Structure 1
Amino acid sequence: EKYDVIVLGTGLKEGILSALLSVHGKKVLHMDRNNYYGAECASVKLSQLYEMFGEDPKTIPENMGRDCDWNIDMIPKFILAAGDLMRMLRHADCLMYLDFGRVAGHFVLHKDKIERVPCTVKEALSSKLMGLFEKKRMGDMLQAIGDFFNEEHKPMNIDPKKATVAEFIKAYKLDAETADFIIHAMALEQNDSCLNEPAYETLHKIYIYTFSMSLYGASAFIYPLYGLGDLPQAFSRLSAVWGGTYMLDKKIDEILYDEQGKAKGIRSGTECAYAPMIIGDPSYFPEYVKEVSKVGRGYTILQNPIKQCADSSEHEKDKDGKITVQTSAQVIITGVAAKNGRKNDIYLTTQGYNHRTTPKGLQLGFLSGEVTTNDENELQPGWKILEGCGILKKFYKVQPIYEPIIEKCEPKGIFVSKSYDATSHFETTVQDAIAMYERITGEKLDLDSKIVRPPIPGMENEAQ
């Protein structure tokens, strides 16, 4: 069988690319060696998590509840409400496949205390993170950013396309601690490398963050009910609507090349499929990637939510009118706050029954951060917070972060995605998918447009 594109792996990036290419008229074959969707982005049951870490599911205590009530993300991330992933879902018309709940709060570790991140001028003026005069300066900065990026485009006193982030912070006379949480908890930068770069991109990230906050209140983040596993499936369904072909549980035995050394297809057992372009995650192309770092990932089952986060979150009532305990939160521990010489942030997220990922009365706690060794104590500031919630079970692993060697693979028609990073949000993930799409097609992707689905066969007149 001949195709225009073969996609290997059903992770989120591969799902996005498969859907977009199908929509734009490409004949796509999408395969995965696993018998489930999601690849690294899958949501698994508790028994599967035990098996993945080499433990017997029969040892799961009865008080852990029913296995079917667990949906545990292998790459846990929240979704910025006005970020690129939501724009992508709207562009691709995939929102009909998903239900979301808001994340109760977004926090930062500051002087060994967990504090809510202020997102508006009003919140800045009441925040415990800053003194009185600092609050006013931060409020002025947020107002200026909002005025610049809204429809009126009111000019700033300092040109963000010429001034660096450091110069912008200095212009508003913000102290180092305030700058730290603005850069990491609002702009969501992973380290301080942006300080010497033009301020525009970082300021736009702050604007998107504050705009996200205005959509649902309490937090700038949302999360799908029943876990992230439905995200790759949503894009897979869209691809199928446009004629994409899917095959799960298909081992990829060989990448086929023509006489010029360019990719021409794949072999699975005795079967072959042909296409001049092959896309996949790093696990399918070890010869075309390089390791650039490592990420440590911790998975925990908790007795309780993080008390400071639950207490600081807006109260909601269930259908019976009872106050619900907020289980979802995100805490960013900057390199400065970690106090252990780290340059990169540590990300901590929790979730539970509110998002239908655990049985009632239990929570999931996730920890991630770039590491240099296999020692889990590199993420100790995060473990300390989780230990205060009562850890019933924990797992930890270190994964290499791979990036494609573009000059080696793409001239051959092979396009490889980057590994998923340590961040607790999807912004970098979607940016990689967009960059790949634009390299593959040579076209700019307009996320502000919306894909119009093809009419159902036999109902063309009704569609018109």
Structure 2
Amino acid sequence: MAETESYPPIDPTNFDLIVVGTGLPESIIAAAASTAGKSVLHLDPNPHYGSHYSSLTLHDLTSFLNSQSPNPRINPHQSTTEASDHATAALDLITRPLYSDVEISSYDDSVSEHSRKFNLDLAGPRVLFCADLAVDLLLKSTANQYVEFKNIDSSYVCDGNGNLMNVPDSKSAVFKDKTLKYSEKNQLNSFFKLVQGHLEAVKSVGTGVDEGKVISEEDLERPFVMFLDKMKLPPKIKSIILYAIAMVDYDQDAGESCKDVLRTRDGIDRLALYHASVGRFPNALGALIYPIYGQGELPQAFCRRAAVKGCLYVLRMPVISVLLNKDSGNYKGVKLVSGQEITSDKLVMDPSFTITSSPSEALQDVSKVFDAGKVSGKLARGICITKSSLKPELPDTSSCLVIYPPRSLYPDQATSIRVLQLGSSLAVCPSGMFVFYISAVCDDALEGKKSLHAAMDSLFSVHTSGTTDSSLTDQIESTEVKPALLWSALYVQDLIEGFMGPVVMTPTPDGNLNYNDLLRATSKLFQQLYPDDELFPEIQNTDSSDKLEDDSEVDIES
């Protein structure tokens, strides 16, 4: 009894919507529902916001990953539960792990001494494009006032010989690039000009614009790589466009064996997003930005927006069962670890929960109420900490993105590997250290770990505490010095898509660099929950300028 008394009672006990988990999709739905005038209770069993989209200290991240088990776990506060009345059935909640094959290594004890100075993204690498859906949603919801950003300084792509090439993202960048031949610059500029002409023509349909500028419908439907070949673009330029600008995962030259072929139409849209992002904000001269203090700031921004609109928040509050009406089998509410029962019209849960029927209950079809969602794929993720930058000769480049296209590191590399370097200016690590996020889509843990280790071998050297000065000197004399790896965490994450039913499940973080697909899925779930309500209706804002507060922080405003 003493244990339950430590949990505060919740009042009122009935809501329009209960949301369990404070990940980005759940937080957006809670904020949108609150904005639409719904009464919302937002719960999280964790002591922090963000769920699978959190930014955690080194100690908290290590504890979280080590707590993952290959077997589903019943809530430690829970035994088989029963509802408080005979007309209600209780289905136990089980936590299923989304992470496996955790591999944590420490090569320098000094890293753990600064544990609390790290904000490490569980779902990295992530960035926002300055013109993408996440930025638009932050502006539309006014959640942008709760988060600030900084520019990603540069992007590189591996050329297959181990060399990192700059990614030219505009006509002026192409002109300044010293790694491209004059003929290659002309080819890339001509292609960008063609794409720009097509986009302008599409916007001006019916206004008499020369339709010769429009890419044919036949070309738009064919694979993008075939269109690039038709434009006679050399392999280097194709690689930049496909993997560093369009951000494709799978080898597009693999023909019919490619698991996800990008159509020209979609490729053009991705190029348009990239170029629309370049220079959108005065202090974000490139295409990409990153939130100060980590990606975990994004769900917190929407939680703050929801709280302003009346959403009630309770952290450290596990839900131990879902309540159903015995006669109809319909969802009715939830039972908390405190023993309190809360009712609502609708329930949204993050994907780490699944429901099982109690042996004492006669309900035969749990799937009528809840679908746990099937694992649709896997992601290999890595977090690495060093004391030096990937480009120490460029002191102004503390953050950068590196893309390793398929087959650029080893012959059977099936997918792109993305690496994001961040420095202390983004408040994600102590001064003098750097954080690297690595990710690759994979079919299984063995393949994923191979991709991560290949990228790490290319980027870092490993120096243990016993490394001798002579061995370090030999390395300096023989090869270019790589950043020394101080600490790393590798793990494999399950991919689960969102599901709409009487109980709604949100999607896990996906393998994309930005949030566009996740936001589309979240918007669809909200529209199915509340078809008569808009996801954040437009608000009249008297200040229509995009401005910055100082020379480094990107304050996005509508």
TM range (shorter): 0.7 to 0.9
Instruction: Give the C-alpha shift of residue 311 in structure 1.
Output: 4.5
Give the aligned partner of residue 420 of structure 2: 349
Instruction: Give the C-alpha shift of residue 92 in structure 1.
Output: 0.5
User: Which structure 2 residues correspond to residues 349-368 of structure 1 after superposition, within 5 A?
Assistant: 349-368=420-439
Between 1 and 2, higher relative CO (CA 8 Å, sep ≥ 6) is seen in: 2
Moved more, 130-139 or 270-279: 130-139
Describe the superposition over 1:142-177 as per-residue Cα deviations: whole angstroms up to 9, x where unpaired.
123234435657653423585432453244222344
- Once residues 393 and 163 of structure 1 are traced to their aligned partners in structure 2, the CA distance between those partners, rounded to angstroms, is 45
Say which SS state the counterpart of residue 431 (structure 2) adopts.
Answer: coil
Give the aligned partner of residue 306 of structure 2: 239
Corresponding residue to 1:449 among 522, 538, 541: 538
Give the aligned partner of residue 389 of structure 1: 483
Instruction: Give the C-alpha shift of residue 426 in structure 1.
Output: 2.4
Corresponding residue to 2:508 among 408, 419, 437: 419
- Once residues 168 and 194 of structure 1 are traced to their aligned partners in structure 2, the CA distance between those partners, rounded to angstroms, is 18
Question: What amino acid is aligned across from residue 303 of structure 1 in structure 2?
Answer: K
User: Which structure 2 residues correspond to residues 43-122 of structure 1 after superposition, within 5 A?
Assistant: 43-54=55-66, 61-62=109-110, 66-76=114-124, 77-111=126-160, 112-122=162-172
Say which SS state the counterpart of residue 420 (structure 1) adopts.
Answer: coil
Say which SS state the counterpart of residue 288 (structure 1) adopts.
Answer: coil
User: Which structure 2 residues correspond to residues 275-424 of structure 1 after superposition, within 5 A?
Assistant: 275-285=344-354, 287-307=371-391, 311=393, 324-375=395-446, 376-387=449-460, 388-404=482-498, 406=499, 410-411=500-501, 413-424=502-513
Instruction: Give the C-alpha shift of residue 214 in structure 1.
Output: 2.1
Instruction: Give the C-alpha shift of residue 58 in structure 1.
Output: 12
Pair 1:418–1:117, CA change in 2 (3 A): same
Question: What amino acid is aligned across from residue 352 of structure 1 in structure 2?
Answer: G
Is 2:111–2:486's contact at 8 Å kept on the other side of the alignment? Answer: no
Superposed CA RMSD: 3.0
Is 1:90–1:450's contact at 8 Å kept on the other side of the alignment? Answer: no
Moved more, 169-178 or 201-210: 169-178
Describe the superposition over 1:123-152 as per-residue Cα deviations: whole angstroms up to 9, x where unpaired.
234446654334323212212323443565
- Once residues 171 and 52 of structure 1 are traced to their aligned partners in structure 2, the CA distance between those partners, rounded to angstroms, is 49
- Once residues 6 and 173 of structure 1 are traced to their aligned partners in structure 2, the CA distance between those partners, rounded to angstroms, is 55
Pair 1:248–1:181, CA change in 2 (3 A): same
Moved more, 253-262 or 74-83: 253-262
Instruction: Give the C-alpha shift of residue 194 in structure 1.
Output: 9.5
Pair 1:443–1:177, CA change in 2 (3 A): farther
- Once residues 128 and 113 of structure 2 are traced to their aligned partners in structure 1, the CA distance between those partners, rounded to angstroms, is 27
Instruction: Give the C-alpha shift of residue 60 in structure 1.
Output: 7.6
1:225 aligns with 2:292: yes
Is 1:106–1:219's contact at 8 Å kept on the other side of the alignment? Answer: no
Is 1:301–1:362's contact at 8 Å kept on the other side of the alignment? Answer: yes
Pair 1:197–1:396, CA change in 2 (3 A): closer
Instruction: Give the C-alpha shift of residue 446 in structure 1.
Output: 7.0
Describe the superposition over 1:71-105 as per-residue Cα deviations: whole angstroms up to 9, x where unpaired.
11111211111111111100100111112111111
Moved more, 183-192 or 234-243: 183-192
Say which SS state the counterpart of residue 178 (structure 1) adopts.
Answer: helix
Instruction: Give the C-alpha shift of residue 420 in structure 1.
Output: 0.9
Pair 1:195–1:420, CA change in 2 (3 A): closer
Give the aligned partner of residue 189 of structure 1: 248
- Once residues 196 and 25 of structure 2 are traced to their aligned partners in structure 1, the CA distance between those partners, rounded to angstroms, is 31
Say which SS state the counterpart of residue 253 (structure 1) adopts.
Answer: strand
Give the aligned partner of residue 8 of structure 1: 20
Say which SS state the counterpart of residue 344 (structure 1) adopts.
Answer: coil
Corresponding residue to 1:260 among 322, 328, 333: 328
1:212 aligns with 2:277: yes
Alignment identity in percent?
Answer: 21
Corresponding residue to 2:189 among 129, 139, 149: 139
Say which SS state the counterpart of residue 149 (structure 1) adopts.
Answer: helix
Pair 1:373–1:57, CA change in 2 (3 A): closer
Say which SS state the counterpart of residue 527 (structure 2) adopts.
Answer: helix
Question: What amino acid is aligned across from residue 92 of structure 1 in structure 2?
Answer: S
Describe the superposition over 1:307-341 as per-residue Cα deviations: whole angstroms up to 9, x where unpaired.
2xx546xxxxxxxxxxx543211112121323342
Pair 1:273–1:343, CA change in 2 (3 A): same
Instruction: Give the C-alpha shift of residue 185 in structure 1.
Output: 1.5
Is 2:150–2:284's contact at 8 Å kept on the other side of the alignment? Answer: no
Between Structure 1 and Structure 2, which shows a larger proportion of helix residues? 1
Say which SS state the counterpart of residue 300 (structure 1) adopts.
Answer: strand
TM-score, with structure 2 as normaliser: 0.71
Corresponding residue to 2:343 among 259, 271, 274: 274
Question: What amino acid is aligned across from residue 355 of structure 1 in structure 2?
Answer: L
- Once residues 427 and 125 of structure 1 are traced to their aligned partners in structure 2, the CA distance between those partners, rounded to angstroms, is 30
Structure 2 gap segments, 5+ residues each:
1-12, 68-103, 253-257, 356-370, 461-481, 542-558
- Once residues 152 and 53 of structure 1 are traced to their aligned partners in structure 2, the CA distance between those partners, rounded to angstroms, is 52
Is 1:194–1:202's contact at 8 Å kept on the other side of the alignment? Answer: no
Question: What amino acid is aligned across from residue 382 of structure 1 in structure 2?
Answer: A
- Once residues 58 and 339 of structure 1 are traced to their aligned partners in structure 2, the CA distance between those partners, rounded to angstroms, is 26
Is 1:109–1:334's contact at 8 Å kept on the other side of the alignment? Answer: yes
Which has more radius of gyration? 2
Pair 1:121–1:58, CA change in 2 (3 A): closer
Is 1:19–1:236's contact at 8 Å kept on the other side of the alignment? Answer: yes
